[in-house]
């Protein structure tokens, strides 16, 4: 055994073990909050367009269908972002790629408000889609790797509240800017969280210890996407992509059309942003509680509860508010619309489960690739769903289109049972 001046291998092993044990018990909540804020420019700008869609469509001479296509279909570029950023994250580390994604999310938000027409606007939304797929994968990978297994679902769930938080932020901006600023200013204000989060992330976030241990300098940096389609990982990749498609498609059949639906129900233009804000507060509760439910009951059971709840909530939200007997007997229509819509937003909390589930399915050297592929390829559903609702609503009306969307979640309820239970898994 060498002295203090030499390299004592037995001491080195013990020291590493102590460091890992210390890291496993840490709860870096400040990093969780920074990551939450960092995701908000992407999520907020997706939803901000719901408030800007009518004005932008009128300025460009587009029908509601084509206005939805221009704003949401380019988000189908998420697979490119998930594949690209996931690969970069597994190869070069989580921190560097995360910082790049934060900067690009702010740039895409700012440029969307400066667009000259639907063509270049579509390109900026394309960049937004690429960043969304990539930043989510890197963020969820990092959170899963720095948090202890027993409470991983809670930590990931808190970060995932960036989605309803982004929606609430978008609604607040719409309430504040309603009648005062153009739709362009509305979209540009969506870049503010990125300007706030970028310097905080640069100084506060360190590289994942798990990535340093298992990937950096081990030769695993050269792993390829081909491994995701070999052996047991093929099953996980296919199942993960399917369950992501179902969740994103079902959610975005409804989400972007809520302000339009409120208008059809007779709500005034001035009240719609505020009512939407109140509805989205239900999402904050649902996203946050999901992690606690998932850590307590397991990954599969939590998904099943939220999926079946979403199916029921969509049926009620799509049917009851349009019935005169209901609004006449139940008092204030606006209050009941908020309650019913809030129940839909609450059940959207199942999105908090994807990051944890996917992270626990894939090994460290492929984790960002696996998360990125499943989330972004499956997330194509979010890009095509708004246009699908635009088409269905022209035939059945928006309320009945929401009711049809419940069928998607019944399918998801059945599919979840095929997944392995991964609660408490050590990464």
pLDDT, average across residues 171-188 = 77
Residue 352 pLDDT > 50: yes
Percent of the chain with pLDDT over 90: 18
> What confidence score (pLDDT) does residue 2 get?
44
Q: Average of pLDDT values for 367-395?
A: 84
Res 8 pLDDT > 50: no
Average pLDDT over residues 315-333: 77
Q: Look at residue 85 and give its three-state secondary structure.
A: helix
- In this prediction, residue 18 carries a pLDDT of 39
More confident residue, 95 or 169: 95
Q: Please tell me the least confidently modeled range out of 11-25, 83-97, 174-188, 355-369.
A: 11-25
What's the whole-number average pLDDT of the chain? Answer: 82
Question: Which of 23-27, 155-159, 193-197 is least confident?
Answer: 23-27
Q: What is the pLDDT of residue 219?
A: 59
What topology is assigned to 27-418 in CATH? Growth Hormone; Chain: A; (1.20.1250)
> Quick one: pLDDT at residue 376?
79
Average pLDDT over residues 360-389: 85
Q: Which stretches does DSSP call E strand in 72-194?
A: none
Chain Cα centroid distance, residue 83: 16
Q: What local confidence, expressed as pLDDT, does residue 315 receive?
A: 94
Residue 300 pLDDT grade (very low, low, confident, very high; cuts 50, 70, 90): very high
Q: Does residue 131 have a pLDDT over 50?
A: yes
pLDDT at site 330: 64
**Does the structure show a pLDDT above 50 at 11?**
no
In this predicted structure, the answer to whether residue 220 has a pLDDT above a threshold of 70 is no
Confidence of residue 313 (pLDDT cuts 50, 70, 90): very high
pLDDT band at residue 179 under the 50/70/90 scheme: low
Residue 147: predicted pLDDT? 84
Quote the CA–CA distance of 342 and 351 in Å, as a whole number.
Answer: 16
Element (H, E) at 208: none
With a cut of 90, say whether residue 293 has pLDDT above it. yes
Answer yes or no: is pLDDT of 306 > 60: yes
- Whether residue 20 is predicted with pLDDT greater than 60 in this model: the reply is no
Question: In the 8-state DSSP scheme, what is residue 421?
Answer: P
Q: Percentage of residues in the chain with pLDDT exceeding 70?
A: 89
Asked if pLDDT for residue 316 goes beyond 90, the answer is yes
Please enumerate in sequence order all residues whose Cβ is within 8 A of that of 144, keeping only pairs 6 or more positions apart, or say none.
152, 155, 156, 355, 356, 359, 360, 367, 427
Please determine, for residue 100, whether its predicted confidence score (pLDDT) is greater than 60: yes
Res 4 pLDDT > 60: no
pLDDT value at residue 56 = 85
DSSP 232-260: HHHHHHHHHHHHHHHHHHHHHTTGGGHHH
Euclidean distance between CA atoms 189 and 277, whole angstroms: 17
What is the mean pLDDT of the segment spanning 387-407?
88
């Amino acid at each position: 055994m060498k002295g203090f001046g030499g390299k004592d291998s037995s001491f080195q092993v013990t020291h590493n073990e102590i460091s890992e044990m210390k890291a496993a018990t840490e709860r870096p909540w400040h990093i969780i909050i920074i990551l939450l804020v960092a995701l908000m420019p992407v999520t907020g700008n997706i939803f901000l367009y719901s408030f800007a869609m009518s004005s932008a469509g009128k300025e460009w001479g587009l029908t509601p269908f084509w206005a939805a296509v221009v704003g949401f279909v380019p988000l189908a570029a998420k697979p490119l972002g998930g594949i690209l950023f996931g690969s970069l994250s597994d190869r070069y580390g989580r921190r560097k790629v995360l910082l790049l994604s934060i900067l690009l999310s702010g740039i895409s938000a700012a440029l969307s408000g400066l667009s000259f027409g639907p063509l270049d606007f579509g390109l900026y939304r394309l960049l937004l889609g690429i960043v969304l797929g990539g930043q989510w994968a890197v963020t969820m990978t990092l959170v899963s790797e720095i948090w202890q297994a027993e409470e991983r679902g809670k930590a990931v769930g808190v970060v995932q509240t960036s989605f309803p938080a982004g929606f609430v932020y978008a609604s607040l901006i719409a309430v504040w800017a309603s009648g005062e600023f153009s739709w362009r200013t509305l979209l540009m204000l969506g870049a503010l969280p990125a300007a706030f989060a970028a310097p905080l992330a640069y100084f506060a976030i360190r590289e994942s210890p798990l990535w340093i241990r298992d990937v950096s300098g081990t030769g695993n940096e050269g792993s390829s996407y081909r491994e995701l389609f070999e052996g047991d990982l093929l099953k996980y990749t296919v199942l993960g992509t399917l369950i992501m498609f179902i969740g994103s498609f079902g959610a975005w059949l409804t989400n972007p059309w809520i302000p339009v639906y409120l208008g059809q129900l007779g709500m005034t233009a001035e009240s719609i942003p505020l009512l939407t804000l109140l509805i989205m507060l239900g999402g904050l509760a649902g996203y946050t509680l999901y992690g606690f439910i998932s850590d307590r009951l397991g990954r599969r059971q939590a998904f099943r509860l939220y999926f079946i709840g979403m199916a029921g909530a969509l049926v009620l939200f799509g049917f009851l508010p349009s019935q005169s007997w209901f609004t006449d007997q139940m008092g204030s229509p606006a209050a009941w619309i908020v309650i019913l819509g809030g129940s839909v937003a609450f059940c959207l909390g199942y999105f908090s489960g994807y990051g944890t589930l996917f992270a626990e399915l894939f090994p460290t050297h492929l984790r960002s690739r696996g998360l990125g592929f499943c989330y972004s390829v499956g997330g194509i559903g979010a890009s095509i769903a708004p246009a699908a609702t635009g088409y269905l609503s022209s035939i059945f009306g928006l309320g009945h289109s929401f009711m049809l969307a419940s069928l998607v979640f019944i399918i998801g309820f059945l599919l979840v049972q095929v997944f392995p239970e991964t609660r408490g898994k050590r990464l």
